[in-house]
Structure 1
Amino acid sequence: MTKTKTLGVLGGMGPAATLDFLAKLQAATPVQREQDHLRVLVDINPKVPDRNTSQDDPGPVLAAMAAGLRDGGAQVLAIACNTAHAFADEVRACGLPLVNMLEVAGQAARAAGAARVGVLGTGLALGLYRDTLSHQGLEVITLDDHEQVEFMALLYRIKLGDLGPDSRETTAALAHRLIGKGAQAIIAGCTEVPLVLGAADLAVPFIDATEALARACVAACAETNA
């Protein structure tokens, strides 16, 4: 029987987004019986310092989470937060491979035929996406400054559980502003975005980075152990 690698997930940023990732991971796993699902170790840690506003450095906390998952038996890591990939080097310091959410989202955008990609994400995540997608030959389109302020306020409402019509309509409106600026696809570059936005809301391809990460993790963990 083919063995699968154990996945370790750095989560809790925020908790609802991590649960969304785990649901998508389960849905992306081809199984014929219960035992075919991946073994997953998850550290849901909402105590990680805010990646956007905190004066505290999230890096050491994320590094400790990664080491704990490794020591618990994880063989492959994933971070269920786009912005936290700014600290990917600290996570990789534990010695385990990391499936990069931003890279696989960019790959999904390319596969959808997009060359100009709108990204809804935090300011820090947008910088990461510009760097990552430029290496993939993609142009990143972002919101204007005042729109980005609106998005960040929306993001924190979603983190507190506001998934109602107002949040959904505002998120869709911001995505349509990116389309109006020439975006040929929209990447949900924050794990809260797919909680309130989906493909049916847009006339261009919707790239759910969370879902792309889930599929990539299944592929990474399906490799036969030595």
Structure 2
Amino acid sequence: MDVSPKLGVLGGMGPLATVDFLRKLVDRTPARADHEHIPFVVHSVPQLPDRMEAIFDGGASPLPALMEAIETLQAAGAVLIAMPCNTAHYWYDKFAPAAKVPFLHIADAALAALGTDQRQSLSLGLLGTRGTLKAGFYQKRFAARRVDCVISPPDDQEKLVDPAIKAIKENDLVSATPLLERAAERLLEQGASAIVLGCTEIPVVLDRFRPALAARCVDVTVALAESCIDWWQSHYAPARQASA
């Protein structure tokens, strides 16, 4: 097995969100030829125990499978790991310290994408699964930067956000789009200045949003891809240039 340095992508949660991440990673890499792109290995594990059932219903924890997936990626040469799934970051504080390589946190990537100049007096809306909202890692990071967090009221979460995410997982993008547009609009009506799309299923339909609404959204999948690119360029691009 080739164990040369690679970006490790822990995917499959869900598969469409993983493909969306990979496309955005490639699109945003400043490469002029194939060999200038980031080498990556993807471990897609859609059979992981259901994250929502584990968080809310006492179902089987996905933590052992996540730990095993991390080991698989490390054995394949991963020197950095990213996981394009927000809800699975519920267990980040348990699996990331056990990893032998850096493991990027998707919420840190999202905040980095906002830029330091925008962090004062912001009120950000957050769309995500109930599991992500319960985990609170976005809310904690926002609060540390004095950014107010606006989340969907329970009725909107139940009738708009949850059904839309389910529809995307079923590849029904047409049904999902108007539900998410309405959920985002409601957050803006509550005073949010922008909307953080805190579930990697949601950006899959972002290009279907009305342009004015899409412009108010922060795509965390793009943010994670850009964090991977920044890390890789700071650690490996100089070495490649020196050997050229």
TM norm. shorter chain > 0.5 = yes
Of the three residues 220, 226, 234, the one matched with 1:215 is: 226
Q: How many pairs does the alignment contain?
A: 222
Higher helix share: 2
> 1: CA distance between counterparts of 2:153 and 2:142?
19
CA shift at 1:53, angstroms? Answer: 1.8
Q: Please name the residue that 1:154 is paired with.
A: 164
Encode CA deviations 1:171-204: one digit per residue, 9 max, x unaligned. 1011000000000011110001111224725176
> 1: CA distance between counterparts of 2:212 and 2:73?
37
Q: Retained in 1: the 8 A contact 2:163–2:176?
A: no
Structure 1: 5+ residue runs without aligned partners?
none
Q: Rate the CA distance shift 1:91–1:9 in 2: closer, same or farther, 3 A.
A: farther
Question: 2:132 matched to 1:128?
Answer: no
Question: 2:125 matched to 1:118?
Answer: yes
For 1:207, give the aligned amino acid.
V
Q: Retained in 2: the 8 A contact 1:112–1:205?
A: no
Structure 2: 5+ residue runs without aligned partners?
240-244
> 2: CA distance between counterparts of 1:90 and 1:25?
26
For 2:86, give the aligned amino acid.
N
Q: Please name the residue that 2:8 is paired with.
A: 8
Question: 2:43 matched to 1:43?
Answer: yes
> 2: CA distance between counterparts of 1:62 and 1:168?
30
Superposed, which structure 2 residues align to 1:67-82 within 5 Å? 67-82=71-86
CA shift at 1:45, angstroms? Answer: 0.8
Of the three residues 85, 91, 94, the one matched with 1:90 is: 94
Of the three residues 65, 70, 74, the one matched with 1:66 is: 70
Higher-RCO chain (CA-CA 8 Å, sequence separation at least 6): 1
> 1: CA distance between counterparts of 2:155 and 2:65?
32
For 1:28, give the aligned amino acid.
R
Q: Please name the residue that 2:52 is paired with.
A: 52
Q: Rate the CA distance shift 1:224–1:196 in 2: closer, same or farther, 3 A.
A: closer
Deviates more, 1:85-94 or 1:34-43: 85-94
CA shift at 1:112, angstroms? Answer: 7.5
Q: Please name the residue that 2:182 is paired with.
A: 173
Identity among equivalent positions (%) equals 34
CA shift at 1:17, angstroms? Answer: 0.2
Q: Retained in 1: the 8 A contact 2:151–2:187?
A: yes
Q: CA RMSD in A?
A: 1.9
> 1: CA distance between counterparts of 2:232 and 2:214?
33
Q: Retained in 1: the 8 A contact 2:164–2:177?
A: no
For the residue of structure 2 that corresponds to 1:222, the secondary structure is helix
Encode CA deviations 1:123-148: one digit per residue, 9 max, x unaligned. 22122211122223211100111111
Q: Please name the residue that 1:103 is paired with.
A: 108
> 1: CA distance between counterparts of 2:102 and 2:21?
19
Higher-Rg structure is: 2
**TM-score scaled by length of structure 2:** 0.85
